[in-house]
A and B are shown apart, each in its own frame.
Chain A
Amino acid sequence: MSDYTKEFLAMSKAYEASGGDPASLSDGGIAGLMVSHRRILRSNDAPGVHIEGEETPTGVKAKITVDPDVHVEHPVHLCFGVLPKEGTQEIVSEFLVGEGAKARFLAHCVFPNAVKVRHVMDARIHVGKHADLEYSETHYHGEEGGVEVLPTAKITIDEGGSYRSLFKLIQGAAGELRIDYEADIGKDALCELDARVYGKRNDVIRVKESLFLNGEKSRGLAKSRIVASGHCVSEVVGEAVGNAPGARGHVDCVEIVKGKDARVSAVPRLLVTDDRAKLTHEAAIGSVDKKQVETLMARGLTEEEAVDVVVRGILR
């Protein structure tokens, strides 16, 4: 078996463990990109979807384009990972979704053996007029906690476009995670940013989601769900800026603390520069809601089971 095949199979296995369907990685009809450390193992176009990848000394540069008015039938599968215990991977990516196009991206980031791994994702995302993009990113980490994950994204959404993202890191130790997403939302456009993270041991989590509601009647939601256990420290900054008439933004943060040594904080920042914009926020941080737990206990669950059901639910 060649080195390439071995690596591809190992990545596929980790991809499957993270919830991905490995068959989609070898299906010629499905667009996808697989990067193992600094090596592109697979890059496949599909009708209306073009992927350009280039290996760099520190990782990979990728440009993914969806042609105007193309409705991509199957989700585009992306897989980024580092299989050795140590290594740095920098992904510099550009996503361009053409006017009127519609696409869904499923990204899986896998670091199953990480002891000292650094993963940097620097993304530029442009959603064209009346286009629709869904981006889901699921992480699968080992239990060692030796991962540094730094995802940043600058998102631009043109008139009538929509962008929805879901970031999930609930398997394995989060390590050090610093999310920084910033969206420029145009007229009648929509942006939803959703991050769900389960922090354990000595994990350090920082989530910053910023919505700039620059277009008339633009709408945005910055949502985060964090569970912190062990000695985990978490900080969530949800920011919304209402710069246009009729703009509506909402920041929604829930952070649950499990155990006496974890620390969580939530910082909402709302700024209105147009008196016809409206921004709201809600945050609930602390222990699991007593009433939720007692309701489940009144159905026979132990307190521990009840807390687990509540926690799994909010991270789902």
Chain B
Amino acid sequence: MICVLDLVDVGLAVGGKPILQDLNLHVLPGEIHAILGMNGTGKSTLASVIMGLSGFSPTSGKVIFQGEDITALPVPDRAKRGITLAWQEPARFEGLTVKEYMELGQRDSPGRGPSPGECLLMVGLPPDRYLQRAVDATLSGGERKRVELASILSMGPRLSILDEPDSGIDVLSLSHILDAVRTLAKNGASVLLITHQNEIAASADRASSLCGGTILRTGDPVAIGRFFRNHCRECPHGSALPGEALLHE
């Protein structure tokens, strides 16, 4: 089977310090693929490399999307091919309504998801209360994350990278998040679900454990979760890896 995404021997060094090394990852069409890793192992860096963000060009290896080498492709071109990213802490925008924000995402997407209103409902936000609200600081952290996921749903992407969609989310909202992730996959998208919680990873079809900037194992999410729980320890350098620091600049 042709993979949607292949990372082949990807390496990334920042300031001479390796963040990702010999990383190999293969994501299948329509699968939910969890990336499990402790803080500081390079999870968000991996997301940035796949999306092609500034400062995250691999120093070695290749990023292949649907058989095409996109290693040197700029962010908008990746988005137009159907790749998108939901940040762990999404940006806020003054003067832009939720509806406008979601419509911007639909403009250049090769697919087409449900309407903005339907997508909001899927993440448990009533459209009549949220479509005209601004995507600014008046939304709580949890609301903003759910709006982000709704916007991804409405784009009908081919590959969604979700960076810790569960962080900062209350227990009730979590079920909406997981339902939305399943809907994305049901609609044909592959989902790269980045998390450090076994419970979230268990909802995936497959999982990979990331440690020290490389993929250690890939397989059944429960088995990978067990491996993660039994073997992974907090990195001695914590979350102060240069790559993580860059992300949160």
Name B90's contact: one of A295, A302, A310 (CB within 8 Å): A295
Taking CB atoms, residues of chain B closer than 8 Å to A316 are: 94-95
**Size band of the B side of the interface?**
20 to 34
Is B108 part of the binding interface, using a Cβ–Cβ cutoff of 8 Å? yes
One digit per residue, 1 when the CB lies within 8 angstroms of any chain B CB and 0 when it does not, for chain A 221-239 equals 0000100000000000000
Name A314's contact: one of B85, B90, B94, B109 (CB within 8 Å): B94
Within 8 A of B (CB), among A116-158: none
Within 8 A of B (CB), among A269-316: 289-292, 294-303, 309-310, 312-316
Taking CB atoms, residues of chain B closer than 8 Å to A291 are: 87, 91
- Indicate if the CB atoms of A298 and B79 lie closer than 8 Å: yes
CA distance A254 to B95 in the complex (A): 13
User: By the criterion of a CB under 8 Å from any partner CB, how many residues of chain A are at the interface?
Assistant: 23
Taking CB atoms, residues of chain B closer than 8 Å to A309 are: 93, 96, 104
- Indicate if the CB atoms of B79 and A289 lie closer than 8 Å: no
Is B13 part of the binding interface, using a Cβ–Cβ cutoff of 8 Å? no
Nearest CB in chain B: distance from A300 CB, A: 3
> What does DSSP make chain A's interface, helix, strand, loop or mixed?
helix
- Indicate if the CB atoms of B76 and A297 lie closer than 8 Å: yes
Question: Known contacts A291-B87, A294-B53: does B93 contact A301 (CB below 8 Å)?
Answer: no
Question: Known contacts A290-B54, A294-B53: does B94 contact A299 (CB below 8 Å)?
Answer: no
CA distance A297 to B91 in the complex (A): 12
Is B80 part of the binding interface, using a Cβ–Cβ cutoff of 8 Å? yes
- Indicate if the CB atoms of B95 and A314 lie closer than 8 Å: yes
CA distance A315 to B249 in the complex (A): 25
Interface contacts beyond A297-B79, A299-B105, A300-B79: sample of 11 additional A-B pairs, CB < 8 Å, sorted by A: A254-B94, A292-B91, A295-B90, A298-B78, A298-B79, A299-B79, A299-B84, A299-B109, A300-B76, A300-B108, A310-B93
7 interchain pairs, CB-CB under 8 A: A225-B94, A290-B54, A292-B91, A297-B76, A298-B78, A299-B105, A302-B76
